[in-house]
Each structure stands twice: as C-alpha cells, then as structure tokens.
C-alpha cells in the first residue's frame, strides 16, 4: 500500500468533516502553571464514539466502492477502533464484524455491539488477530480496515493534528511540540504528516506506557522491536506488540524522541483531566497528559500540543484512578 502524504491528510479532513466532531483545543491555567509551558489539549474523548478512531474509520468507509459496501467490513480491535468502524459502517448502511479480545473492557464491547456490529472474540495472548481477520476475509470477501497499518486510517487520524494546528494558529500560536498517545502508530503517523505539511518545525513525539514503548525503542534502534511480555496492561488501547510496518515507515522519518510513563503517572493524569478539565479520559488516552504533568516531557517555555485520545474507560478502572 502507498504511504499517505500531508495532502492525503488534508483531503481526509475535508472528506470526513461533515461526519465528525471538530473537537475543541483546550487550555488550562493550572496546567500551564504546573508545567511552565503553554499546553494546548486536543480533546478527542468528545469525538463520536469517544475517541479519535472515528476519524480514520470514517475516512476508510467513505472510500468503499459498491462491491465492498455489499460485502461489508471487518476489523480487530480492543475497543475504540472497533466502535469507530461499527459506527462509521452503520452510518453508511454497511455490515460490520468486529473481532475483540476476550479481555477487552466490557464498556467497549457493549458500545461496539450497540452500533449493530457482529462481535467475534479472540484470545489476545494465544491468537494472532491478523491471522484471524485474514481468515474471515478469505471466507466472506469483507474489506479489512486495520486499526493503524492502513493508509486511509492514518490519513483520517491525521485530521486530529491538522485541526489542532489550525486552531493554534487562530490563537496566534505555533506549537513547538505535539505529544501523541502511541500504540501501533496510526494516529501519530497521521499527526506527523500533518505537522510536516502544515506546521514545519513542530516536533511530534510518541508517548507510551512503560513496558509498551516499542515505538520509542524502535526509533532508537533504527528498526521495529517488540515489547517483552509481562508489562502492565492498564493502557489497553495502546498494547500493540510492535509498531506497524507502514506506520513505522512514516514515523521513523518524522518523529522526535519518545517518552514512557508509568501507571501512577497515568492515574494522576486521569484525575487531573476529570477534576480540572472536566473530561473523562481512559488510561491509554491520558498518557500524553501524563508526560507533561509528570515532567517526563519538559514543557517549560514551550507551546506544547497534546492529544487526549479517548474516553472509553471501564468504570472500575476509573474508580481506581480517582482513588489512587
């Protein structure tokens, strides 16, 4: 598949604009004081389905031809991408089948089912989700919309950064850095392309959970590396074993250094978002905020944009975050 370009991001943003929420770019006085920087927060929990994933899913579904629409779509997802594909497909009158791991948060499973999708389960540890999905495609002829390693998905996700760049410019600001929650790398690849094309000089950084910092380590090593087993699974939305093949081709060229944050950092960011920003954020969606709050990314004296990437948190996990 051809890699997307900044122009593809701009075209995707225009294509999906009638269907997605242009989420706000927020600023908080206390956060600026705590970090010493000007922090601009892209609030994707306010997106349809509760995460940025709706952007890439919508861009993908809108480009299906008639035969593909008839055969339906399929994806594999721990929740946010599955919900997004289910919603985008339902809006277009297309059947969707979503393969979800057995340990996916219940709220994400039920939210996906509510959009009318067929849910199939797999074991995250023993099953290869790509093989499971490929077998379904071979049987049915459905179109696979992968969570990140897919040009239309990357281009659609890049609209997050393009909107942030435009809204920052409207405020008379140019972002020095842009921090992105990173799993397989689709969101950050799209954001990096947006920055390359429309905000040269803005450095895009991957932010990952400790033990799942495969993109950061891959950038250092110069090739894709895998995460070792046994790390915390709190940030369920970011648990890719290794960077995507296509996403890493983009990210290796464009990204700045990455940062890894701990579970404690994530819980603190979730509490801050709830108490100060009045936004519910899931663990994986909070890692970029965790990076600036913890000081692991030094924002002092800079204009720093960051993504709160999703708000589909299991109630029990959210309760633990508020009590931590």
- For the annotated catalytic residues, the residue numbers are 53, 78
Three-state secondary-structure class, residue 169 = helix
Distance CA 104, CA 147 (A): 15
Cα distance between the two ends of the chain: 44
Pairing of strands 25-26, 38-43: antiparallel
Integer Rg of the chain from CA = 18
| Residue 19 CB neighbours (<10 A) | 17
Q: 174: burial class by Cβ within 10 Å (0-12, 13-18, 19+)?
A: middle
Backbone angles phi, psi at 240, to 5 degrees: -70, 140
Distant-in-sequence contacts of 133-136, Cβ < 8 A, 24+ apart:
133/74, 133/75, 133/76, 133/99, 136/74, 136/97, 136/99
Helix axes 53-61, 80-92, angle to 10 degrees: 40
Residue 99, both tokens = 């393969």
The CA-based dihedral angle spanning residues 323, 207, 172, 36, taken in that order and rounded to the nearest 10 degrees: 60
The residue assigned the tokens 């947006």 is 194
Tokens of 60: 């993908």
**Percent helix, percent strand, percent coil in the chain, to nearest 5:** 50, 15, 35
């Amino acid at each position: 598949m051809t890699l997307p370009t900044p122009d593809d991001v701009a075209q995707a943003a225009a294509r999906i604009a009638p269907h997605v929420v242009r989420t706000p770019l927020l600023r908080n006085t206390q956060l600026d004081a705590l970090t010493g920087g000007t922090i601009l927060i892209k609030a994707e929990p306010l997106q349809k389905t509760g995460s940025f994933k709706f952007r890439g899913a919508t861009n993908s579904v809108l480009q299906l031809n008639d035969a593909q629409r008839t055969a339906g779509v399929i994806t594999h997802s721990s929740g946010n991408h599955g919900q997004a594909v289910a919603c985008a497909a339902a809006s277009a009158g297309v059947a969707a089948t979503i393969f979800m791991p057995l340990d996916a948060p219940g709220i994400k499973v039920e939210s996906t089912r509510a959009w009318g999708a067929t849910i199939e389960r797999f074991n995250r540890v023993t099953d290869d989700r790509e093989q499971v999905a490929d077998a379904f495609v071979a049987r049915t002829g459905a179109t696979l919309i992968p969570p990140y390693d897919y040009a239309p998905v990357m281009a659609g996700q890049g609209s997050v950064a393009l909107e942030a760049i435009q809204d920052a410019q409207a405020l008379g600001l140019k972002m020095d850095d842009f921090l992105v929650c990173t799993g397989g790398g689709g969101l950050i690849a799209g954001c990096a392309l947006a920055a390359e094309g429309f905000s040269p000089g803005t450095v895009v950084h991957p932010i990952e959970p400790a033990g799942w910092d495969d993109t950061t380590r891959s950038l250092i090593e110069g090739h894709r590396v895998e995460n070792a087993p046994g790390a915390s699974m709190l940030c369920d939305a970011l648990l890719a074993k290794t960077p995507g093949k296509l996403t890493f081709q983009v990210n290796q060229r464009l990204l700045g250094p990455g940062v890894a944050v701990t579970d404690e950092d994530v819980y603190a960011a979730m509490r801050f978002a709830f108490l100060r920003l009045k936004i519910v954020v899931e663990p994986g969606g909070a890692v970029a905020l965790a990076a600036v709050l913890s000081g692991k990314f030094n924002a002092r004296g800079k204009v720093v944009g960051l993504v709160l990437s999703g708000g589909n948190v299991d109630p029990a996990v959210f309760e633990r975050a508020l009590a931590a």
